[in-house]
Amino acid sequence: MSYPKQLHMGEHFEDLEKLYMKLPPDIKDRELDIICKSARKLIEQSEQHYINRDEEMAYIGYMKLINLVQVIRKNKDYARKKETVTKMLGTQSDFNRIFEKLHKLKDSLEHRYKERARQKGLLSLPRNVTVERESKNGSLAGKDVSPIIPSSGHKQTVTAMELHGMINDCRISMLIMDCRPVKDFEASHLRYSYLVNVPEHLLVAGMTAGKINHALPPESRTLWSNRMVKDQVILMDWNTTGAPVKDTPIYILNYILCHYDQDIEDTKIIRLDGGYESFVLHYPARCLNPSYRPPMVVDGMGDNIDDIEYPNISDIPMKEESFTKPGFKPTIDRNSKVAAVSLYEARKKPLEDILVEHEQILDKSKQNALEIINTETELKNLEKQQPLEPGVDETQESLLFEVMQLKDRQRDYEAEKARILEEEENYKVMEKEQKERGEQISTEQAEQLEREAYERRLRDKEREQRELEEKCQRLAREREEKLALAREQKRHLKENVPETSKRAYPGEDPGPNSYGSNAMRLPLFDRSAKPLTDHNQNLRIRDLDVVQRDFAPVYGSVGRGLTGLKNLGNTCYMNSILQCLSNTYFLNEFFHDPSFKMHLNRNNKTQGKIGEEVAAVIKALWTGQYKCIASKNLRYVVGQYERQFGGIEQQDSHEFLTILMDWLHSDLQTKQMQIPPSLDQMPPSEKAWIEHFKGKGSYISELFYGQIKSTVKCTRCHKESATYESFSNLSLELPQDSNICYLENCLDMYFNGEEVRGWHCPKCKSNQDAIKKLDISRLPSILVVHFKRFYADPDTMSTVYRKKQTLVKFPLSELNMTRYLARTEVNRNKRLTTFRYHLYGVSNHYGSMESGHYTAFCLNNIHQKWFKFDDYNVSSIDASDVQASAAYILFYSCLPDRPQSDMR
> Could you tell me which residue, 173 or 333, shows the higher pLDDT?
173
Please report the pLDDT score of residue 857 as a whole number. Answer: 97
Would you state the pLDDT for residue 388? Answer: 46
Element (H, E) at 397: helix 392-436
Cα 891 to Cα 652: distance, rounded to the nearest angstrom:
17
Check pLDDT > 60 for residue 516. Answer: no
- pLDDT of 230 reads 87
Q: How large is the C-alpha radius of gyration of the chain? A: 34
> Which stretch, 191-205, 444-458, 508-522, 604-618, has highest mean pLDDT?
604-618
Q: How many CA atoms lie within 13 A of 40 on its CB side?
A: 13
The answer to whether residues 183 and 165 touch, using CB atoms and an 8 Å cutoff, is no
pLDDT recorded at residue 299 = 38
pLDDT in tens, 410-429: 887 788 778 777 777 777 77
Q: Which is higher by pLDDT, 324 or 861? A: 861
Percent of the chain, pLDDT > 90?
A: 31
pLDDT, greater one: 127 or 112: 112
With a cut of 70, say whether residue 131 has pLDDT above it.
no
Mean per-residue pLDDT over the chain, rounded? 78
Q: Which of 500-504, 546-550, 708-712 shows the highest mean pLDDT?
A: 708-712
What is the signed CA dihedral for 602, 605, 611, 612, rounded to 10 degrees?
Answer: 60
CATH of 13-117, one of 3.40.50.410, 3.40.50.300, 1.10.3720.10, 1.20.58.80: 1.20.58.80
Partners of 158 in the beta sheet? 272
* Cβ–Cβ under 8 Å, residues 900 and 861: yes
How many whole angstroms separate alpha carbon 23 and alpha carbon 29?
Answer: 12
Confidence grade of residue 337 (pLDDT, cut at 50, 70, 90): very low
The pLDDT value recorded for residue 546 is 40
CA distance 375 to 380: 9
Q: What is the pLDDT of residues 680-697, one digit of tens each?
A: 778 889 899 999 999 899
What average pLDDT score do residues 780-797 get?
87
Measured distance CA(779)–CA(707) in Å, rounded: 7
Give tens-digit pLDDT for 69-86.
Answer: 878 877 888 877 887 888
Range with lowest mean pLDDT among 133-137, 341-345, 549-553:
133-137
Between 692 and 900, where is the model more confident? Answer: 692
pLDDT at 471: 67
Predicted confidence (pLDDT) per residue in 141-195, tens digit: 333 333 333 333 447 899 999 999 999 888 888 999 999 999 899 999 999 999 9
pLDDT single digits (tens) 204-242: 877 888 888 888 988 898 889 888 888 899 999 988 888
Residue 582, pLDDT above cutoff 50 = yes
pLDDT band of 407, cuts 50, 70, 90: confident
Architecture of domain 157-286: 3-Layer(aba) Sandwich (3.40)
Residue 356 pLDDT exceeds 90: no
Q: Which of 53-62, 358-367, 728-737 shows the lowest mean pLDDT across its residues?
A: 358-367
Has residue 669 got a pLDDT over 90?
yes
- pLDDT tens-digit readout, 865-888: 999 999 999 999 999 899 999 999
pLDDT in tens, 316-328: 888 877 776 444 4
pLDDT given at position 343? 41
Residue 904 pLDDT: 35
At residue 506, the pLDDT reads 36
Q: Is the pLDDT of residue 797 over 50?
A: yes
pLDDT digits (tens, 9 = 90+) for 617-644: 999 999 999 999 999 999 999 999 998 8
Give the pLDDT score at 448: 59
Instruction: Please name the amino acid found at residue 23.
Output: L
Burial state string for 477-500 with b = 16 or more CB within 10 A and e = fewer than 16: eebeeebeebeeebeeeeeeeeee
The mean pLDDT of 245-265, rounded to a whole number, is 83
Looking at 192-201, 206-215, 574-583, 809-818, which range is the least confident one? 206-215
∠ at Cα 369 (366, 373), nearest 5°?
140
Give 476-493 pLDDT, tens digit per residue: 766 666 666 655 655 555
DSSP states of 535-602: TTGGGGGS-TTTSPP----EE----TT--EE--SSS-HHHHHHHHHHHT-HHHHHHHHSGGGGGG--T
Q: Is the pLDDT at 547 greater than 60, yes or no?
A: no
Q: For the chain, what percent of residues have pLDDT higher than 70?
A: 75
Least-confidence region, from 3-17, 268-282, 304-318, 772-786: 304-318
Nearest to 803 by CA among 464, 528, 511, 518: 511
Higher pLDDT, 573 or 266: 573
DSSP 75: S
Q: What is the pTM of this model?
A: 0.62
Residue 130 has pLDDT above 60, yes or no: no
Which comes out higher in pLDDT, residue 673 or 473?
673
Cβ neighbours for 63, distance < 8 A, ≥ 6 positions apart: 16, 20, 102, 281, 282
What does the pLDDT read at residue 879? 92
Binning pLDDT at 50, 70 and 90, where does residue 513 land?
Answer: very low
Q: Is the pLDDT reported for residue 107 higher than 50?
A: yes
Comparing 584-588, 621-625, 792-796, the range with the smallest average pLDDT is 792-796
| Chain centroid, CA 609 distance in Å | 27
Q: Where are the domains of the chain?
A: 13-117, 157-286, 563-670
- The residue among 660 and 102 whose pLDDT is bigger is 660
Cα–Cα distance measured from residue 226 to residue 198, given in angstroms and rounded to the nearest whole number: 13
Could you tell me the pLDDT band of residue 600, with boundaries at 50, 70 and 90?
very high
Concatenate the DSSP letters of all residues of 719-767 into one string.
Answer: -EEEEEEEESSEEE---SS-SEEEHHHHHHHHHSBEEEEEEEETTTTEE
Query: Phi-psi region for residue 221, left (φ > 0), alpha (ψ -120 to 50) or beta?
Result: alpha
